[in-house]
A and B are shown apart, each in its own frame.
Chain A
Amino acid sequence: AQTVTQSQPEMSVQEAETVTLSCTYDTSESDYYLFWYKQPPSRQMILVIRQEAYKQQNATENRFSVNFQKAAKSFSLKISDSQLGDAAMYFCAYRSASQAGTALIFGKGTTLSVSS
């Protein structure tokens, strides 16, 4: 069975600084998808970024980028130029590519606080 581990329950960053959230996963599959979701205090989960395992190029969405290391099974999220609105809980998630209807497997989350 696949598992997702987020080893940092809490992280903090100053406005305008850069922070990296860690995520590792365990799988025997070669093809899969990885996601980072953000859950602000308003509670709605929002997709931040996703990565296809067969792509070597790291995904980037504006200030958010990932460092995908397939051999190490690592999928970290880098937030550049942090803003107060980035404060939220961040979840790393995995989905098998072999079953398109299956659900995500989530890590336990990292709470990010941003200070001015």
Chain B
Amino acid sequence: DVKVTQSSRYLVKRTGEKVFLECVQDMDHENMFWYRQDPGLGLRLIYFSYDVKMKEKGDIPEGYSVSREKKERFSLILESASTNQTSMYLCASSLWGEYGHQPQHFGDGTRLSIL
């Protein structure tokens, strides 16, 4: 089974801190994704990466950056955390499917609170 592991299930940080959320997958997937999940808004894409050192902005990249130095690891960085970034963060990975049918596999999520 594919395993996508997020480093923390719960995290509490302070406004202005630099926050790192880590995600590791064990199935050699090319694609990795960071989503944010908020009640009533569903999942919104922050960033994704289709290869090492490659990244693409999603729908809501402002205030975030990402790093993919190794294929199995995709990090989300909150440069200067703000209270409106309190949310559930979900990491996902998938194979590069020629016709886009490859499903995404998700981690358990990190519930981040910014105080």
Q: Decide whether A and B assemble into one complex.
A: yes
The secondary-structure label for the interface of chain A is loop
The answer to whether B48 touches A101 (Cβ under 8 A) is yes
Which A residue's beta carbon lies closest to that of B90?
A45
Q: Is the CB of A56 closer than 8 A to any CB of chain B?
A: no
Q: Which residues of B contact A100 (CB under 8 A)?
A: 96-100, 102
Interface residues of B in 86-115 (CB under 8 A from A): 88, 90, 92, 96-109
B93 → chain A closest CB, angstroms? 11
Interface size on B, residues (CB 8 A): 30
The answer to whether A43 touches B45 (Cβ under 8 A) is no
Which A residue's beta carbon lies closest to that of B47?
A103
Counting chain B CB atoms within 10 Å of each CB, the highest count among A42, A46, A102 belongs to A102
The answer to whether A106 touches B42 (Cβ under 8 A) is yes
The answer to whether B104 touches A104 (Cβ under 8 A) is yes
Q: Which residues of A contact B43 (CB under 8 A)?
A: 91, 104, 106
Contact residue range for chain A? 20 to 34
Task: Report which of A32, A91, A101, A107 forms a contact with B30, defined as CB distance below 8 A.
Answer: A101
Cα distance A90–B33 in the bound complex, in angstroms: 19
Which A residue's beta carbon lies closest to that of B33?
A103
A102 → chain B closest CB, angstroms? 7
Cα distance A43–B107 in the bound complex, in angstroms: 9
Q: Which residues of A contact B58 (CB under 8 A)?
A: 103
Interface residues of A (CB under 8 A from B): 6, 9, 31-33, 35, 37, 42-47, 50, 52, 91, 95-104, 106-109
In the assembled complex, 13 residue pairs joining A and B whose CB atoms fall closer than 8 Å, in A order, are A42-B108, A44-B108, A44-B109, A45-B92, A50-B101, A50-B103, A96-B100, A100-B97, A101-B96, A102-B48, A104-B45, A106-B35, A106-B44
